[in-house]
Structure 1
Amino acid sequence: MQVLWDLRKTFRCAVLTDSTSDITNVAEQVVRLFTAGSRDNQNTVLLLLNEEQILESLQEIIMMKLAEQKINTRMPVVTLLSCVRKDVVLQNDQVILREELSHTEQQRFNEKAEELRGRYGDKYEQFHAFRIMQTNFSRELIKQACTVFRTVKRANRPRRTQLAAFLSLLNAYVPGSYLLESQCLAFLKHEDRSLEDQMEPFSDLIITFQEDKRSDKKVCMVHPVLAQQCTELMAEAGVTRSDTARNFLNYFCRNEVPSFLLAFIKDMLTKREVTNEEREDKFSRLILDIQNTEHKVQSASVLKVASKKFDQNPFFPQALARFCYIELKDYNQAEMWAKRAKERCPQNSFVADTLGQVHKNQLKNQMSTATAREILQLAKKAIDAFKHEEQLAEEEIEENVKKTGRAKSLPVSNTRGQFGYLQVCNILYDLLVGQNEAWKGVLTKNQPMHSVLNSLGDNKLYRFNHLINSLRDEVERKCDFFDQYLVYSKLNVERDDPDYISKDTTDCYMKYVAHSTPSHIESSCAQLIQKLEQSLTDKGHVEVLSHLVREYTESELQDVTTRWGENSSSTDSGTAAVDFMLAGFRQKMPLSKKDAPELYMVALLLYWPDSEDSCLFDLSQMIRQMRSSYEHVYKKYLGSRYLHPLFFIGKGQGLNRIVQREVLEELFLDQSEETSNWSDNWRKENLFKNASVQAHLLRVKGVVRNYRVHALVGGKEIEVDANVRNSLWRPRPVFFYLGFTIRGPVAFGIQSTTGKIVKVKNN
C-alpha cells in the first residue's frame, strides 16, 4: 500500500480488494482507468492484487477490451503487482519482502525511534509493531512484549483474557483477520466502557481501526508474530489451541455468522499451505499444530464443532472426513462425514471426491486376512463413488463451457474421479492376484469368470461379474485419456503434474491392458506403430505418423499394412510405406470439419510454407477448423491448463522439417548451465535465445497488430496464438518461431525487427 501511495502521482493506482470479482469487469475498469475517459489521457495503471491464479486471464481480457475499443497505446497499460503471503518461496524470480531492513532503512527507523521517544516518553515501549520491525523481528523483543500472557491461568479466565486468546489465535493463523469492535464489546458484556479500558493489561497488544467513517470499527492484534507468540505462551500455560478454537466457535458462531468471519474460520481450519515441494500440507496449520502439540483427537474435535456449527457448509465435514481416514484410520466416521459433506453440496465434484478417497484408502489398508468378497465389496463402493464424482465433474465442465463461451481459458476441471478409479483398480489387482494368480486372467478378460470360480473357492463372487467385466475396457479408456492429458498439457506454465499420475496410470495399463487380447483394429494399429518405430530412426517422425495411424479406419490400416508387406524385401520398405501414408494423407486434403485436431496439426506441419510464399490451402481456415475441433474434443478437459508445444517447424522439407519439443530441450540443456527448470524456460522463453535451438528452427516473419500476432504468408496475415502475451502490447514487425499445440500454431520467442508495419490482406 505504501508503494501505491508513493507512486500515486506517477501512475493511476488501484487495489483489487475482492479476488472473487468478475475478471471481465475488473479488466473493463482497468481500461477505463488507463484512459480516464479520454483516449488522449493515457497513463499506466498500477494494480495491487493478492491473487496469482487470475493474472494470465486478466491480462488476456484487458487486451481483448483494448482491441474491441481500438485503443492504440503509447505506454504500458497496466502493471500487475501481485502480493501474496507465503511461507515458502517456489520460484527463483519472485521478489521476496524479507524480515530484514536495509542499511538505509535501519538508519531511518533509528531516527524515527528517537523522535517517538522524545514525543511519547515511556509510552514508546508500547509501539510494538514499530519496534519489532526496527529490530528485524527480534525474537527476544517479541517474547518481552508478550510476557503478560505468562500469567494466564487455565481455570477461571476473565472474559478479557479469553478475548485476547481468541484474537491471538485468529491473527496467528489468519494474518489480516479481525473481529468487529461491537462483537468484542458484546462478548465482554460491558458495552458502556471502552474496549481499551476493558482489555487491560492486554490493551497495548491490540489495535482498533476503522477503514473509513462509514465502516465498523475492527479489532486485531498489533502484529501476526505477536499473535503467534501469545498463542504459544498460552499453550504453555495450559490454555491449548484446541480449547481456544472450540470456545471461539461456541461463542462467536451461535447464530448467523457474518460472511467475513466465516471466511476467516474457513481459512483457519481448512486452508492448506503449500510446501517447498509445491505440494499442499495435509491439513491447515492450526489443525497440524494441534495434532503435533496436543493430540489427533483434539484436531478432530475442533473440526467436529465447526461441522456442527456451520450445518450448511460442506468444507468442515470434508476436512473432518479427510482427518478421520488419514490420521485416525476411522473409516466409518470418515464415511459418515464425507457423505454429510456431499449432502450439503451435492453438485460439487471436489467435495464428492472425499468419499471415494475414504473407500480407496480403506481398501489400500485392508488386512491380509480379507476375503476376495470383502475386497470386491469395498472396491465397488470406491469405484461407484469415483464414477459419480466423474459424472458431476462432466456436468461442471459443461456448465463452465456454457458460461465462458469461446474464451480460451476455463476454470480448473476435476479429473480426480478418473484417476481415483485407476488407483482403485491398481489396489484391487494387487490384492486379488496376491491371493490367487487365477485373478490375472479374469481381470484382463483373457478368461471368463465362471471358468475359474472353483479355483477361486467362492461361487458367490459371480455377483461381481458385471463389475469385473467392465474394469479392463474402462481402465484402457481412462489410461488413453491421461496419456493425452499429460502429453498435450500440464498443470500450468510454471508447474508440471506430479510424477505419480503418470506412474500410477502406466502401472494400471500394464496390469489390465498390456497383456490382454486387443481388438482387431487395436492390434493392427499397435503393430503398424511398432513397425514405424523399428524402421524410422527419428522419433519425431514416428510421433507425427502415429497421429495419422490412430485416426485410420480399418480399411486404411489394411492398405498400409499390405503395402508394407509388398515392399518387405526392399531395404527401404519403411520409407516406401511412409511415402504411401503421406500420399494417402494428401488425398484427404482439405480436411473436413469432423476431423480430429491431430490431423489438422499434421497438415499444418507439412504444408506451412518455408518462406513468405503462398500455401496451397487456406491456412487461416485450417487454423480456425483446428481450434474448433480442439474445442469440441479437448477444451473441456484442457481449457484450464498450459498446452505443451508438441512440434516446431524447422529447416528442411516434408517430415524432416518437423522438430519435437524434446529435441529442443535436450539441445538447450546440453549447452546451458541451467537445470531443466522448464517453468522459467517456457515462461521466459530462454530456450529460444540459445544458438543451437535457433539453428534448428525456421524463423517466421510476422507482425503484431491490435494485440494479436500474425504470420506473413503469401502477402496475407495469418493470425496465430502467442506463448507470451507480454509481447503483444506494441504494434511492430516481428519474427518468431512457430510451434504447435493441440489447439493450433503458437508464436514463440517473438522479437522485433527493423522496418515499418505494412498493412496487408487478412486471411
Structure 2
Amino acid sequence: MESDLTETSSTDGSDEYSSNYIQQNRNSTNTRLFSFLALLHAYVPDSYLPMQVCQQILGPPDPINGGPPFEERMEPFTVFISTDTPGQVCMCDQDEARKQLEILHNSGINRSTTAKKLMDFLCGGEPQPHVVQMVKDLLLKRKTGKKGKEKFSRLISDILKRENFFHAVSVLKTASTRFRIAIYPQTIARLYYIERRDYEMAAAWAERAINIDPYNSYVADTLGQVYKNRLKNAWQIVDVWEYANKSLRAFEAVEEKAMKEEDSQNVDPDVAVRTSVSFNNRGHFGFIQVANLVFVKLRESPFREKLRRDVEDKFEFFELYLTYSMPDMKTLEPHYFREDIAACYQRYTGRAAASSTSFPGLLDSLNHGLFTLRRQAEVQRTTPELEGIVDDLKSMYQVYRDDVVTAMRYILSNVILSNRKHNAPQLARLTQLQSVIRRFLWQQPSQPPQPEFHLLALMLFWPEEQLQEVQQEADDEEEGRAAEDDESSDEDTDEDQETEALLPLNLQQHVRSMKNAFEGTYAKYLRGRYLLPLFFLGKGHGLSKWIHKSILDAVVEGEVDSELTEQNDRKKKEMIDDMWCEGRVWQVQGIRELLLPVQVESQQTAAMQEVSVRVGGQEIQARLEVGPSQRSELFYLYFTIQGPVVINVSTPHDELQLNDCAVQPN
C-alpha cells in the first residue's frame, strides 16, 4: 500500500508510536532508512532515494525473492513516507521530516551520525553524479537571508547548535575523504577560523583545499580570509606585519587566478581553462579590507605608504565596477562594500571618494543620495559644485589638450551638468564638444580607444529630431552663451573645426567599436553582472536629450512614495525593484514625458538579441532587452558601457504607437 502524510498524523499518535519504536529499535534497518529519508527531506526537500537503494538498505529478503512488501517493512514509518512517484521514496512533508529528526536526535540518533552513515552507504566506490550533488546540497548549500548568505548550510549550523563543533568537522571530513572536492576542506577551514578562531588549523585546511584545486580563485580566497581574520586580532607589531603580508600575498594570488578564469561561454571545450560565471572580485576587496586594518594598526609606517598606489588602483577598479554594473537587476552589493572602499581611499589619499571626477566618478555623481541604490547617506552634489567641476575640467583640458582621458572627462562633465541644469552658463556648445572629440578621431591613437570614448562620440553626434523651430531656439541659446564666454582656446574659435564637427559620423562603426572596446577592457570583469543603464535617449535637444538614469530613478521613487501609506524602506525598495523588473516604469507618465521613442527598422525574433534602429539617415544595431509584445509596441533606447540597448515596452494607451516616434532626417 502507498501512503501519504495526513493532516492528523501529528496528533493521531503516529509521532509517539514512532518515537517508542525508534528507542526500542535504534539499530534496525528500517529505522536507519527512515533516518536517511528524514535527514534528506529536512534539508534538501526535492531529494529522494531510489526504491532499489532503499531495498538494499533494508537488506534481504527482497520482495522479489518472496520477502514482505516495502510498506510493511517500513512500519511504523509508512505514514510519513511517499512512494507516489514510481521507483522513488521520500518523506511526505518537510516540517514532519524536521520533527522526526528531533525525535531521532532525542533517541540518540543525531544528525552527524546519520549524515556520515548516509555517505558511507551511498558513496562507496564511484558515486553517481546525482548523489554527489545531493550530498553537496546537504552539507554546503547556504540559505540567503536579509543579511546575505548564512555562514554554513542549515545542516552544519544545526549540528553546531544541537551537537558540537567537532561533530560538524567530522561530517565534513567524511565528505572530504569520500569526494576529492576542494569545497569540503575549504568549508572545514571556514569552520575553524569562524567558530573557533583556530587560525593555524584553518590555514592548514585552506592549503589542503588549494592543493586539490590550485587554479580556483574562490578556493584560494579562503586562505586570504583566514590570515585577514588573524590580522584583525593581532596587535603586536611583529604579528601585524606577519599577517598583513600573508593576507596580501594570499589575496594577490586570488587576483592572479581570477584573471586567468574565463567565461564558460567563450571557452573552447577542448582547451583546459578554468571557468567561472562571474569575475571573482574577492582578491581586490580583500586587499581593501587588509589595507584598512594596516592603516589602523600600523601608524606612521612606511608599509602604509607602500600600499597607497595599490589602494588607488583598487579604488579605480571598483569605481568603474560599481558604476557600470550590479550583481543583478534587484541585487546590490552588501552595504559595507562601498563603505570599506571609500574609507580606504580617503585614509590613504586624503581625498573623499564621493569627490572623484574620473569618468565613472562623474557618471556616479548624480546617484548620490538616491534611495534606489541605498545611497541616502551620501550628500548629493549641488549644482554649483557640478558647475565648478565643469570649469575645473575645462581649464585642465586647455592645458592637456592631447590627453584623451582629460578630454572625455571634460565632455562628460558637461553632459552631467546639463542633466541638473540644462541652461547653465558653464555648458559648452554642442559643436565645441564635437570639435574636441573630432580631434581624437583624426589622430592615430597609441592604443585603441576605450568604450567611454565611443559612448561620447555617439551621444555628441546623435542626430537631432527634425523640429526646426526647436533647433533654432537651441542654436540661439548656444550663441548667447558663446557671446558671454571669454574662453579663447583654438578649439572653440576655429570655425573650420566647428563646421567639420557638424559632419555626420558613422554611428554603426562606433557602435561596433564600442562593443569591441568593451570586450577588450571590461567584459572579463563585468561578465555575469547586470550592466546598468547610463543614459536614456530623451526628448530634449543637444546635450539635454541624454537623460541620466538617476533622473528616472527619482521619478519612480516619487511614484512609489505616492502609493505608500506609511514609511517602510524595505517595502519601498521592493516596490521600486518590481516596477523596473516588471516594466511598469514605462507606464509612468513622468517617464513617458522624458523619453523619446525610437524607430526599429527590422525587428528580429526574441532568440536574436539585436535589432536595427533607424537613426537619422543611418541604421545601427542595438541589443534587444525585452521580447516583442503583442501590440502597442514602443521602443526606448539607452546606453550601457557595452553599447546601445533597445527596450520593447507595451503602453497602456492605444494612442502611444510607434508613429509617435520623432521624425528623423533622411
Say whether 1:746 aligns with 2:598. Answer: no
Say whether 1:235 aligns with 2:136. Answer: no
- Residues 611 and 713, structure 1, Cα contact 8 Å, conserved in 2: no
Provide Cα deviations, 1:211-230, integer angstroms capped at 9, x if missing partner.
Answer: 5xxxxx44333443332221
Matches within 5 A, 1:119-518: 127-129=3-5, 131-132=6-7, 140=11, 144=14, 147-153=17-23, 157-192=27-62, 193-194=67-68, 196=70, 197-208=72-83, 211=86, 217-275=87-145, 277=146, 279-310=148-179, 312-366=180-234, 370-397=235-262, 401-403=266-268, 411-433=277-299, 438-439=300-301, 442-445=302-305, 469=306, 471-514=307-350
- Residues 612 and 715, structure 1, Cα contact 8 Å, conserved in 2: no
2:465 match: 611
2:520 maps to a residue whose letter is: H
Query: Aligned equivalents of 2:119 and 2:347: distance in 1?
Result: 49
Deviation at 1:627, TM superposition (A): 0.8
- Residues 702 and 735, structure 1, Cα contact 8 Å, conserved in 2: no
Deviation at 1:234, TM superposition (A): 1.1
- Residues 383 and 421, structure 1, Cα contact 8 Å, conserved in 2: yes
Report SS of the residue matched to 1:478: helix
1:721 match: 623
Query: Aligned equivalents of 2:358 and 2:347: distance in 1?
Result: 20
Unaligned runs of 5+ in 1: 1-122, 212-216, 446-468, 517-521, 564-571
Provide Cα deviations, 1:466-514, integer angstroms capped at 9, x if missing partner.
Answer: xxx2x21111111111110111111011212222111111111111223
Query: Aligned equivalents of 1:510 and 1:736: distance in 2?
Result: 43
Deviation at 1:373, TM superposition (A): 2.0
1:4 match: none
Deviation at 1:195, TM superposition (A): 6.0
Provide Cα deviations, 1:554-596, integer angstroms capped at 9, x if missing partner.
Answer: 5546998xx9xxxxxxxx9945699866542243347878111
Report SS of the residue matched to 2:261: helix
Counterpart among 653, 665, 670 of residue 541 in structure 2: 653
Report SS of the residue matched to 2:75: coil
Deviation at 1:737, TM superposition (A): 2.8
2:534 maps to a residue whose letter is: L
- Identical residues among aligned pairs (%): 32
Counterpart among 453, 478, 483 of residue 599 in structure 1: 453
Change (3 A) 1:540 1:524: closer
Deviation at 1:190, TM superposition (A): 1.9
Query: Aligned equivalents of 1:399 and 1:553: distance in 2?
Result: 46
1:18 match: none
Query: Aligned equivalents of 1:515 and 1:174: distance in 2?
Result: 49
Deviation at 1:349, TM superposition (A): 1.3
Say whether 1:537 aligns with 2:439. Answer: no
1:628 match: 516
Change (3 A) 1:604 1:541: farther
Deviation at 1:354, TM superposition (A): 1.2
Query: Aligned equivalents of 2:161 and 2:47: distance in 1?
Result: 24
2:217 maps to a residue whose letter is: S
Q: Which has the higher contact order (CA 8 A, sep 6+)?
A: 2
Report SS of the residue matched to 2:341: helix
- Residues 40 and 48, structure 2, Cα contact 8 Å, conserved in 1: yes
Deviation at 1:254, TM superposition (A): 3.8
Provide Cα deviations, 1:183-236, integer angstroms capped at 9, x if missing partner.
Answer: 33444442443462443333443445775xxxxx44333443332221111112
- Residues 303 and 316, structure 1, Cα contact 8 Å, conserved in 2: yes
Say whether 1:585 aligns with 2:585. Answer: no
Change (3 A) 1:751 1:174: closer
Deviation at 1:444, TM superposition (A): 5.0
Query: Aligned equivalents of 2:151 and 2:45: distance in 1?
Result: 20
Report SS of the residue matched to 1:702: strand
TM-score in terms of structure 2 length: 0.75
Query: Aligned equivalents of 1:543 and 1:626: distance in 2?
Result: 26
Query: Aligned equivalents of 2:304 and 2:105: distance in 1?
Result: 57
Provide Cα deviations, 1:11-58, integer angstroms capped at 9, x if missing partner.
Answer: xxxxxxxxxxxxxxxxxxxxxxxxxxxxxxxxxxxxxxxxxxxxxxxx
Deviation at 1:330, TM superposition (A): 1.4
Provide Cα deviations, 1:151-194, integer angstroms capped at 9, x if missing partner.
Answer: 42288622322222122212221123233344334444424434
Report SS of the residue matched to 2:37: helix
Query: Aligned equivalents of 1:624 and 1:259: distance in 2?
Result: 43
Query: Aligned equivalents of 1:663 and 1:302: distance in 2?
Result: 53
RMSD: 4.2
Change (3 A) 1:709 1:294: same
Query: Aligned equivalents of 1:194 and 1:546: distance in 2?
Result: 89
Change (3 A) 1:485 1:548: farther
Change (3 A) 1:165 1:615: farther
Provide Cα deviations, 1:382-425, integer angstroms capped at 9, x if missing partner.
Answer: 11111111111111127754459xxxx98222111111111111
Change (3 A) 1:186 1:658: closer
- Residues 25 and 31, structure 2, Cα contact 8 Å, conserved in 1: no
1:691 match: 589
- Residues 602 and 613, structure 2, Cα contact 8 Å, conserved in 1: no
Provide Cα deviations, 1:404-451, integer angstroms capped at 9, x if missing partner.
Answer: 9xxxx9822211111111111111211213xxxx23xx3553xxxxxx
Provide Cα deviations, 1:608-662, integer angstroms capped at 9, x if missing partner.
Answer: 1222699811111111111111111111111211111112233333333332111
Report SS of the residue matched to 1:152: helix
2:557 maps to a residue whose letter is: L
Query: Aligned equivalents of 1:736 and 1:261: distance in 2?
Result: 48
2:163 maps to a residue whose letter is: E
Change (3 A) 1:332 1:252: same
Change (3 A) 1:684 1:188: closer
- Residues 734 and 751, structure 1, Cα contact 8 Å, conserved in 2: yes
Query: Aligned equivalents of 2:68 and 2:397: distance in 1?
Result: 77
Query: Aligned equivalents of 1:302 and 1:755: distance in 2?
Result: 62
Q: How many residues get paired?
A: 566
